[in-house]
Amino acid sequence: MFVCVCSAVSDRQVERALDEGADTLDALAAKTGAGACCGSCRPLLLNLIDEHRYTPALAA
Ligand code: FES
């Protein structure tokens, strides 16, 4: 599923970038291009960043 239509970035690409340490909007934009155009996907990207941050704690 695309999370950023402008840059054609999928949720899997975002998850991979998060796993590689790109855990801010700027870092995700630099690594994948997501959020670097119109910005309408940024709230969703922020949710994915938050989920990524808290998932390890929930699993522990
Ligand atoms: S939809 Fe992501 S920057 Fe436009």
**What CATH number does residue 47 fall under?**
1.10.10.1100
- Record the pTM: 0.88
* Ligand 1 midpoint to CA 50 (Å): 18
For the segment 18-36, what is each residue's pLDDT rounded down to a tens digit? 999 999 999 999 999 999 9
Percentage, residues of the chain above pLDDT 90: 87
* Contact of 60 with 53, CB cutoff 8 Å: no
Does an H or E element contain 28, and which?
helix 25-32
d(CA 22, CA 18): 5
* Ligand 1 midpoint to CA 42 (Å): 7
User: For residue 56, what pLDDT is reported?
Assistant: 58
User: For residue 22, what pLDDT is reported?
Assistant: 96
Q: Which domain holds residue 38?
A: 2-59
For residue 58, pLDDT beyond 60: no
The domain tally of the chain equals 1
